[in-house]
């Protein structure tokens, strides 16, 4: 089964830019970007970001304003602030090198168990399974049912990892899940795991017993421009466009959001470290001061 999956991946795997590196920092950046971003778009954004900040020290030494500008278009901007904080920690506590253990990785700001295991698998080729939706669905259908208890689930998934090909195995299962073993109508005839697949042998696709695929998304009831996420994006865009980190006064509604709602969101974003405010003028700007760290060595 391992050989079949890995051979399929060698011939059919998606050619994403961040798969061409084993540099732990580059892998960590790619995983943070990919948390809320489609794979192809994430790969394009990752190339720009890693060109600008090729090492943890490079990111640690710039201001939050610089990072947020570089993050433009990716959304969920708190990820950028957390990644910069992780870079500072890597420089200060680990000599500028991304640590290679689960405990040390999950101690970094913004790095959870999934991201840590992805770094271990993709950068260090450790035999662990980063359990995203696609991998979990493939394993659950083909080799499950998987346990529901988190620790048992992770242990079971880790047990399927070929010890000498952890990175390619994870990438392969992600691609199988994204292109073949999809949630609603899996293409079982094209699947490299079909000869071992429990679901194919015991039920008829597309409905597979034990599959934990997410249900079809419910149509959005609130128009996107009326959401706080849209408003936050517009606020940050105004600040990104300000010359020399000048203060920007918020004195009018934005879209359908009245001024009190705009100012409340500005204050909330300030508490998250995305910007700083001047309460006397209703002004705000991206945080322009740098928390500088000494380069390693």
Same domain, 205 and 271: no
CA distance 42 to 63: 23
Q: For residue 209, indicate whether it is catalytic.
A: no
Same domain, 118 and 16: yes
**Tokens encoding 142:** 């083909």
CA distances 62 to 27, 52, 59, 83, 151, Å, are 20, 11, 6, 12, 38
Alpha carbon dihedral 161, 162, 165, 169, in 10-degree steps, equals -40
Same domain, 238 and 273: yes
Full-model pTM: 0.85
Determine which one of 31, 44, 47, 276 is catalytic: 31
Same domain, 117 and 51: yes
Same domain, 153 and 7: yes
Same domain, 17 and 97: yes
Contact between 274 and 280 (Cβ < 8 Å): no
CA distance 173 to 136: 9
Those residues with Cβ within 8 angstroms of residue 116's Cβ, 6 or more apart along the chain or in another chain: 102, 105, 106
Measured on CA atoms in the order 40, 42, 46, 48, is the torsion positive or negative?
positive
Same domain, 3 and 20: no
Domain annotation covers residue 290: no
Tens digits of per-residue pLDDT, 5-45?
999 999 999 988 888 899 999 999 999 998 877 877 888 88
Please tell me what DSSP assigns to residue 20: G
Look up the domain containing 268 and give its range. Answer: 225-285
Domain closes at, from 122, 144, 159: 122
Measured on CA atoms in the order 105, 109, 113, 119, is the torsion positive or negative?
negative
Same domain, 133 and 274: no
Domain total of the chain: 3
Domain closes at, from 217, 242, 274: 217
Same domain, 58 and 153: no
Domain closes at, from 199, 217, 235: 217
Domain annotation covers residue 230: yes
Those residues with Cβ within 8 angstroms of residue 155's Cβ, 6 or more apart along the chain or in another chain: none
Burial 214-228 (b: 16+ CB within 10 A, else e): eeeeeeeeeeeeeee
Domain annotation covers residue 291: no
Domain annotation covers residue 232: yes
Same domain, 16 and 116: yes
CA distance 113 to 109: 12
Domain annotation covers residue 293: no
Same domain, 16 and 6: no
User: By three-state DSSP, how is residue 245 classified?
Assistant: helix
At residue 174, φ and ψ (nearest 5 deg) are -60, -40
Measured on CA atoms in the order 39, 41, 47, 50, is the torsion positive or negative?
negative
Same domain, 108 and 53: yes
In order along its 297 residues, the chain shows pLDDT tens digits of 999 999 999 999 998 888 889 999 999 999 999 887 787 788 888 999 999 999 999 999 999 999 999 998 888 889 999 999 999 999 999 999 999 999 999 999 999 999 999 999 999 999 999 999 999 999 999 988 999 899 999 999 999 999 899 999 999 999 999 999 999 899 999 999 999 999 988 865 544 444 444 444 455 577 888 899 899 999 999 999 988 888 999 999 999 999 999 999 999 999 988 899 987 888 999 987 765 544 444
């Amino acid at each position: 089964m391992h050989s079949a999956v890995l051979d399929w991946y060698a011939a059919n795997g998606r050619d994403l830019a961040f798969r061409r590196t084993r540099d732990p920092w580059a892998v960590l950046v790619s995983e943070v970007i990919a948390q809320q971003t489609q794979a192809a778009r994430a790969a394009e954004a990752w190339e720009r970001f890693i060109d600008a900040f090729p090492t943890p020290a490079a990111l640690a030494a710039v201001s939050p304003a610089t990072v947020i500008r570089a993050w433009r278009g990716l959304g969920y901007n708190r990820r950028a602030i957390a990644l910069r904080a992780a870079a500072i920690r890597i420089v200060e506590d680990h000599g500028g090198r991304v640590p290679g253990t689960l405990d040390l990785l999950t101690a970094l700001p913004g790095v959870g168990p999934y991201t840590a295991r992805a770094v271990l698998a993709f950068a260090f080729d450790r035999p662990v399974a980063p359990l995203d939706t696609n991998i979990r669905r493939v394993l659950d259908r083909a080799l499950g049912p998987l346990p529901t208890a988190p620790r048992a689930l992770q242990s079971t998934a880790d047990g399927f990892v070929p010890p000498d090909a952890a990175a390619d195995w994870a990438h392969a299962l992600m691609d199988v899940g994204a292109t073949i073993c999809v949630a609603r109508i899996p293409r079982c005839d094209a699947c490299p795991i079909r000869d071992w697949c429990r679901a194919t042998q015991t039920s008829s696709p597309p409905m597979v017993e034990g599959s934990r695929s997410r249900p079809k998304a419910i149509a959005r009831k609130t128009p996107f421009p009326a959401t706080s996420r849209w408003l936050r994006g517009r606020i940050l865009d105004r600040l990104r466009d300000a010359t020399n980190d000048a203060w920007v006064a918020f004195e009018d509604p934005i879209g359908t959001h009245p001024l009190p709602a705009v100012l409340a969101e500005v204050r909330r974003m300030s508490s998250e470290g995305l910007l700083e405010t001047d309460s006397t003028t209703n002004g705000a700007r991206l945080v322009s001061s740098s928390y500088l760290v000494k380069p390693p060595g």
